[in-house]
């Protein structure tokens, strides 16, 4: 459906990952070997927090309905700024129209959210899910995607207090409602959410056959493995990233996130935890 990446660590120019890596996100928008759709040209989004960002900082957003490889503004922007935490997403539309409000990442206050996947059979139970969104949050749903409804449902169910529990409660509701409407495997996807300081990256599907998700190895480990690779000098010791698929072909550079798992990125590194046993 889509491809995405999330970065947290020392401030860098996002172009290092979005544009310059061998299998950068822009390269994946043209050719995604691990994706269900090899071309992701139905718009893109880029969201970033300011330097010195802490929990509570408000991120900036740039969305376009242009293919990522065709948009010169994306190149200008990602080469000009430096950010300690950013999300980027390229879209392959699978039903909802190509429009700015349907491009990820989505923002609510200091929170960013993006999703690769779908809610199977969504049209049959969309009304029930939307009615479950807190009335104060409903006006913030601007597009028509299942992903945006998922985000606001998670906000309703406690994401701001506990992202893991809040998103888990939203998915369990989606599974219950979807299955009541005859959809056996309602939830599919990988998701990322951030508050400005921490990134939570989730891999989960009702069927237990989720979209691909990887995180990078620690930079000190990579430098010891590849001491002659000058590219690694662009990154600090706490640089971490989570991606739909690896950004290069270096053995050991990217590690697969297991099924039904949340990977937490914070200044201490990576922490894995189980996330919703497959239903």
Q: Is pLDDT at 10 greater than 70 in this prediction?
A: yes
Q: Is pLDDT at 65 greater than 70 in this prediction?
A: yes
pTM (2 d.p.): 0.94
3-state helix/strand/coil string of the chain: CEEEEEEEEEEECCHHHHHHCCCCHHHHHHCCCCCCCCCCCCCEEEEECCCCCCCCCCCEEEEECCCHHHCHHHHHHHHHCCEEEEEEEEECCCCCCCCHHHCCCEEECCEEEEEEEEECCHHHHHHHHHHHCCCCCHHHCCCCCHHHHHHHHHHHCCCCCCHHHHHHHHHHHHHHHHHHCCCCCCEEEEEEEECCCCEEEEEEECCCCCCCCEEECCHHHHHHHCCCCHHHHHCCCCCEEEECCCCCCCCCCEEECCCCEEEEEECCEEEEEECCCCC
Q: Which of 51-55, 94-98, 132-136, 206-210 has the lowest mean pLDDT?
A: 94-98
Q: Is pLDDT at 30 greater than 90 in this prediction?
A: no
Using pLDDT thresholds of 50, 70 and 90, give the confidence band for residue 279: very low
Q: Is pLDDT at 144 greater than 80 in this prediction?
A: yes
């Amino acid at each position: 459906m889509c491809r995405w990446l999330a970065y947290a660590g020392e401030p860098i120019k996002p172009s290092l990952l979005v544009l310059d890596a061998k299998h950068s996100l822009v390269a994946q928008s043209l050719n995604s070997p691990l994706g269900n759709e090899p071309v992701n040209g139905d718009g893109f989004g880029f969201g970033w927090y300011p330097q010195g960002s802490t929990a509570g900082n408000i991120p900036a957003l740039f969305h376009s309905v242009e293919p990522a490889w065709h948009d010169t503004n994306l190149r200008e922007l990602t080469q000009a700024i430096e950010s300690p935490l950013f999300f980027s997403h390229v879209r392959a539309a699978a039903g909802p129209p190509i429009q700015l409000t349907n491009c990820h990442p989505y923002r609510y206050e200091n929170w960013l959210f993006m999703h690769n996947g779908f809610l199977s059979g969504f049209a049959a139970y969309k009304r029930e899910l939307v009615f479950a969104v807190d009335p104060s949050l409903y006006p913030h749903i601007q597009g028509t995607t299942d992903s945006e409804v998922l985000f606001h449902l998670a906000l309703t169910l406690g994401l701001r207090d506990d992202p893991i529990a809040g998103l888990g409660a939203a998915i369990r509701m989606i599974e219950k409602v979807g299955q009541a409407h005859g959809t056996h495997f309602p939830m599919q996807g990988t998701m990322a959410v951030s508050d400005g300081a921490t990134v939570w990256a989730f891999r989960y599907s009702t069927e237990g056959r989720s979209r691909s998700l990887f995180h990078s190895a620690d930079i000190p480990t990579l430098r010891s493995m590849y001491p002659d690779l000058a590219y690694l000098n662009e990154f600090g010791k706490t640089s971490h990233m989570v991606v739909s698929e690896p950004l290069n072909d270096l053995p050991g550079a990217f590690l697969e996130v297991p099924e039904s798992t949340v990977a937490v990125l914070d200044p201490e590194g990576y922490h894995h935890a189980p996330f919703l046993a497959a239903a």
